[in-house]
């Protein structure tokens, strides 16, 4: 082993694998700092912040929590703009939904590398919590060298949890770390990770079922594709992708969509967009706030009002008063009959 | 030593943390930063970020939906 303390930057997602990989390298006497990339599609935090029913859950960013448990610094980098190209033009295609997992991993390792080699940072290598066979799109035997090569990290990319199943990397060959202290995990089983966590005394950790990205979610992906189809172009901004996480989305016609809040937290969140969208709110009864996205005409607004009334406490009333607020603040009221549940066509639900 | 303010209202985590991190990068030890947010997650995340980077949270204050966090840069 060399006497110089080496420096590694670890991609911290907030999940168990990157937490373990980091701890393995810390135990080698390496100085490790974490890096976490915010794409806008990260599951972390947002839905908890938006939905009132989730307010009782621990409101923490798991990447930060992991860093604190490990006693390392964490740098969170906003990559929302740069990530668009990864999502819109994935060289290696999509997974089951709109998840460009392989391109995403290459992108993140590349970004980590660019950060790590910067003159003020001067890190020696990069670590990830990848395990061969763990994920069907991005973590396969054949993708491991591809990620290393296409990211530009090459043999400075070390995967401590499965390093023994891969050719020795520079940190191993140079003796910066002991290859024998690395692991040979493979496959989809989580048992080796859980056993290692136990040996480290980690009793609490996050293991989100679909990973940490909304793009692996079928319903979310459908809404994203619907948005692109309606606009006639594949593009988005942060507000677009945030709004896809909120409320019921109904599209009665190609030229407009209704986003109806489901509860108080979403009401509050959607009300923050009332200067950007036509908004509807029931006045005679308690009920949701809805935004109209697109170019609805007067008949569309009336239909939207009757849909909003259907989701209000006046759903069984003969008439419900609904306030229509334009983006410029001008308001008027419509009196509508709530749409019967059977009249809400299932194909409207995005 | 300077005092400055950061308006992170309506931003959802981790954006308030990122904005705080980026602002503090340009401040000097001893400077104070007051961050105002509306995402309740910030009440955990910004102090957590401060702890791991060695900055001091002087106070946190919640009024209605607004959270104010005062940080001393170390």
pLDDT in tens, chain A (350 residues): 556 899 999 999 999 999 999 999 999 999 999 999 999 998 765 555 567 665 566 668 899 999 999 999 999 999 999 999 999 999 999 999 999 999 999 999 999 999 998 888 899 999 999 999 988 778 899 999 999 999 999 999 999 999 999 999 999 999 999 999 999 999 999 999 999 999 999 988 876 655 678 999 999 999 999 999 999 999 999 999 999 999 999 999 999 999 999 988 899 889 999 999 999 999 999 999 999 999 999 999 999 999 999 999 999 999 999 999 999 999 999 999 999 999 999 999 99
Q: Are A113 and A50 part of one and the same domain?
A: yes
Q: Supply the range of the domain harboring residue A294.
A: 246-348
Q: Are A156 and A272 part of one and the same domain?
A: no
How many domains, chain A?
A: 2
Is the peptide bond preceding residue B14 cis, with omega within 30 degrees of 0?
yes
Asked, for residue A103, whether it belongs to a domain, the answer is yes
Q: Are A200 and A254 part of one and the same domain?
A: no
Q: What pLDDT shows up at residue A44?
A: 63
Q: Are A170 and A39 part of one and the same domain?
A: yes
**What residues of A are in contact with residue B18 (Cβ under 8 Å)?**
38, 76-78
A193: CATH = 3.40.50.620
Annotated catalytic, B50?
no
pTM of the model: 0.91
Q: Are A172 and A95 part of one and the same domain?
A: yes
Which of B10, B14, B44 is opposite residue A76, by nearest beta carbon? B14
Nearest chain A residue to B17 by CA: give it.
Answer: A76
Show the tokens assigned to A137.
Answer: 């799109």
Asked, for residue A239, whether it belongs to a domain, the answer is no
**Set B6, B7, B12, B13: catalytic member:** B13
- Domain final position from A169, A196, A214: A214
Q: Which domains does chain B show, CATH number per domain?
A: 3-72 (3.30.110.40)
How many residues belong to chain B? 74
> How many C-beta neighbours within 10 Å does residue A350 have?
19
Q: Are A188 and A320 part of one and the same domain?
A: no
- Nearest-Cα distance to chain A for B48, in Å, is 7
Q: Are A308 and A200 part of one and the same domain?
A: no
Backbone φ, ψ for residue A136 (5° rounding): -65, -25
Asked, for residue A224, whether it belongs to a domain, the answer is no
Alpha-carbon gap, residue A210 to A138, rounded angstroms: 13
Which of A61, A74, A272 is opposite residue B41, by nearest beta carbon? A61
Which of A46, A60, A76 is opposite residue B44, by nearest beta carbon? A60
Q: Are A254 and A201 part of one and the same domain?
A: no
Q: What pLDDT shows up at residue A211?
A: 64
Whether A317 and A338 have beta carbons less than 8 Å apart is answered as yes
Q: Are A121 and A73 part of one and the same domain?
A: yes
Q: Are A322 and A206 part of one and the same domain?
A: no
Asked, for residue A125, whether it belongs to a domain, the answer is yes
This complex has an ipTM of 0.95
Asked, for residue A222, whether it belongs to a domain, the answer is no
**What residues of A are in contact with residue B53 (Cβ under 8 Å)?**
73
Contact residues, chain B to chain A, C-beta under 8 Å: 10, 12-15, 17-18, 21, 39-41, 43-45, 48-49, 51-53, 65
Number of cross-chain residue pairs from A and B with Cβ atoms under 8 Å apart: 70
- Nearest-Cα distance to chain B for A38, in Å, is 8
Asked, for residue A189, whether it belongs to a domain, the answer is yes
Alpha-carbon gap, residue B63 to B36, rounded angstroms: 11
Q: Are A252 and A157 part of one and the same domain?
A: no
Q: Do B39 and A72 touch (CB under 8 A)?
A: no
- Nearest-Cα distance to chain B for A345, in Å, is 33
Q: Do A64 and B65 touch (CB under 8 A)?
A: no
- Nearest-Cα distance to chain B for A33, in Å, is 10
Asked, for residue A20, whether it belongs to a domain, the answer is yes
User: Which parts of B3-64 fold into alpha helices (H)?
Assistant: 15-24, 42-53
Asked, for residue A101, whether it belongs to a domain, the answer is yes
Look at residue A26 and give its three-state secondary structure.
Answer: helix
Q: Are A15 and A153 part of one and the same domain?
A: yes
Contact residues, chain A to chain B, C-beta under 8 Å: 36, 38, 42, 44-46, 48-50, 55, 58-61, 63-65, 67-68, 71-78, 242, 268, 272
Residues of chain B scoring pLDDT < 50: none
Q: What pLDDT shows up at residue A260?
A: 97
Q: Which residues contact A297 (CB under 8 A, 6 or more apart)?
A: none
């Amino acid at each position: 082993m060399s006497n110089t303390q080496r420096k590694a930057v670890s991609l911290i997602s907030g999940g168990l694998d990157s937490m373990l990989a980091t701890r393995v390298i810390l135990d080698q006497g390496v100085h490790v700092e974490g890096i976490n990339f915010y794409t806008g599609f990260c599951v972390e935090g947002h839905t908890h912040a938006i939905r009132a029913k989730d307010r009782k859950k621990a409101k923490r960013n798991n990447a930060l929590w992991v860093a604190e448990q490990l006693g390392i610094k964490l740098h969170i980098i906003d990559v929302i703009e740069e990530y668009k190209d990864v999502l819109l033009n994935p060289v290696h295609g999509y997974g089951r939904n709109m998840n460009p997992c392989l391109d995403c991993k290459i992108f993140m390792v590349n970004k980590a590398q660019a950060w790590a080699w910067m003159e003020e940072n001067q890190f020696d290598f990069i670590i990830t919590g990848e395990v061969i066979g763990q994920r069907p799109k991005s973590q396969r035997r054949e993708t491991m060298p591809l990620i290393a090569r296409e990211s530009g990290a090459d043999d400075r990319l070390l995967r401590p949890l499965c390093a023994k199943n891969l050719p020795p990397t520079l940190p191993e060959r140079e003796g910066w770390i002991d290859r024998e202290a690395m692991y040979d995990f493979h496959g989809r089983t989580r048992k080796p990770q859980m056993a290692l966590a136990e040996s480290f005394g980690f009793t609490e950790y996050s293991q989100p079922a679909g990973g940490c990205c909304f793009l692996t979610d079928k319903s979310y992906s459908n809404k994203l594709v619907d948005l692109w189809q309606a606009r006639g172009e594949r593009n988005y901004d942060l507000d677009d992708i945030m709004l896809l996480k909120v409320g019921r989305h109904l599209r009665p016609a190609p030229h407009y969509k209704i986003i109806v809040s489901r509860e108080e937290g979403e009401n509050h969140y959607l009300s923050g967009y009332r200067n950007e969208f036509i908004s509807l709110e029931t006045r005679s009864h308690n009920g949701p706030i809805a935004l109209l996205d697109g170019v609805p005409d007067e008949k569309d607004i009336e239909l939207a009002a009757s849909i909003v009334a259907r989701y209000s406490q006046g759903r069984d009333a003969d008439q419900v008063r609904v306030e229509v607020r334009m983006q410029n603040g001008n308001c008027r009221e419509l009196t509508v009959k709530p749409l019967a549940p059977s009249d809400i066509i299932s194909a409207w639900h995005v | 030593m300077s005092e400055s303010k950061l308006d992170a209202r309506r931003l959802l985590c981790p954006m308030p943390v990122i904005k705080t991190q980026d602002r503090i990068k340009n401040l000097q030890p001893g400077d104070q930063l007051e961050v105002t947010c509306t995402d309740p997650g910030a009440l955990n995340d910004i102090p957590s970020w401060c702890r791991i980077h060695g900055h001091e949270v002087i106070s946190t204050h919640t009024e209605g939906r607004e959270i104010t966090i005062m940080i001393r840069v170390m």
